[in-house]
Amino acid sequence: MTALQENRVTRHAGPDHLVLSEHPVFRHFWYVVCSVDDLTTEPEPGRRGVAPLHRRVLGTDLVVWRPDPAGPVSVAHDRCAHRDAPLSMGWVTGCHLVCAYHGWEWDADGTTKRIPQFPDSPHPTKSGLTMVASAERYGLVWVCLATEAEGGPVAGIPEVAEWDDPAWRRVPEGSWDFDCTAMHLVENNIDPGHVAFVHRNSFGNPDNPELTDQNVERRPYGLVTWTDVPVEGRPGEDGATVRHTWSQVHLPFFMHLLIRYPDGLGHVMLKAITPVDDRSCVIHQVVLRTDTEADRPAADIRAFDHQVELEDKDLLDRLPDEFPLAQHLNAHAKADRNSLLLRRMYTELVTGQWTPGASQ
Ligand code: FES
Ligand code: CO
């Protein structure tokens, strides 16, 4: 075992840490499984039918497919009721999902349509798919694992005012896998102290780490924090400057980060973080900008943000596997106020003292 691997072994176990699978409340939120563009409706050459996608949310394996190119997406648990084959190994043809093992077929809402060996015999009662609620928003496909019988979602997909505002252009950036908890990644994104150090090779400067102000307040959806962060400038901009960031965390794991540069340029980052399981997550990111493609090509914006995400990933992937909630587990300084409020709100969420939308 290398020293780095050793650092990942759990240092503290027990109720002082947040382990997602221990708290059913996390099943009641919307998470992104893919971008709309990830769902092809054209078969690959040499392959029968269109391949569905396999995704994992909170340790649950899902199959994601588009039954009809003009229709909505379908999502189900990735297990065939017949002999447990992963449905994501199958294919989509003629608006039906086909199991790769014995060829049973289902329609868009998971109703069994065909059992090919004896097609005229009745379908067993438990042969249908276990469907999962899904929606398409911001060019992304969202799911909520909690069924209606379980109470469904406790909060809607967050509203983003800039999305339909023509002053803002859309720059989808794709996704990155992180080998850390979803909570660690949210905490990192509202941590003004890390920028000068983790991002020293992109836009941070360890010789200029001081913060002039930092504000954080609770909101019905979670929290908002605003800070001036010293930066070295974005690509194409020379000289040190200050970046005003205004970050909303819609608990548990969605963020809307508004960055205002001194020249007025607006840069919004939608960060939809999906908990894959207790120890890993994926971030789906969409940027909205007030400049034009001629000012800054989308490819340059993506390349820069890719570098920044990988700088965070390099560090976060090596943090311990459990997310600490109890205050005594870490040392905290003045720049950690955002983190402390976030940890307190996660504690309130899992103990039922607070749910998004409830009064504070
Ligand atoms: Fe799916 Fe048999 S396991 S059809
Ligand atoms: Co960072």
Ligand 1 pocket, residue 83 CB under 6 Å: yes
Ligand 1 atom closest to 85 (CA) = 3
Give the span between the Cα atoms of 335 and 7, in whole angstroms: 25
Locate 96 and state its tokens: 């039906």
pLDDT at 14 over 80: no
Ligand 1 pocket, residue 99 CB under 6 Å: yes
pLDDT at 238 over 80: no
Helix, strand, coil percentages in the chain from 3-state DSSP, rounded to 5: 20, 30, 50
What pLDDT score was predicted for residue 91? 96
Ligand 1 pocket, residue 85 CB under 6 Å: yes
Query: Quick check: helix, strand or coil at residue 46?
Result: coil
| 131 DSSP 8-state letter | B
Per residue in 268-323, pLDDT tens?
A: 999 999 999 999 999 999 999 999 999 999 999 999 999 999 999 999 999 999 99
Give residue 237's pLDDT band: very low, low, confident or very high (50, 70, 90). low
Nearest CA to ligand 1 atom 3: 83
| 110 DSSP 8-state letter | S
Sign of CA dihedral 172, 157, 275, 97: negative
Higher-scoring residue by pLDDT: 106, 2: 106
Ligand 1 pocket, residue 80 CB under 6 Å: yes
Q: To the nearest 10°, the Cα dihedral for 192, 274, 157, 154?
A: -100
Give me ligand 1 centre to Cα 103, in Å: 6
Query: Quick check: helix, strand or coil at residue 308?
Result: helix
Q: Domains in the chain, please, with CATH?
A: 30-144 (2.102.10.10), 169-350 (3.90.380.10)
Per residue in 68-121, pLDDT tens?
A: 989 999 999 999 999 999 999 999 998 999 999 999 999 999 999 999 999 999
Give me ligand 1 centre to Cα 85, in Å: 6
Ligand 1 pocket, residue 89 CB under 6 Å: no
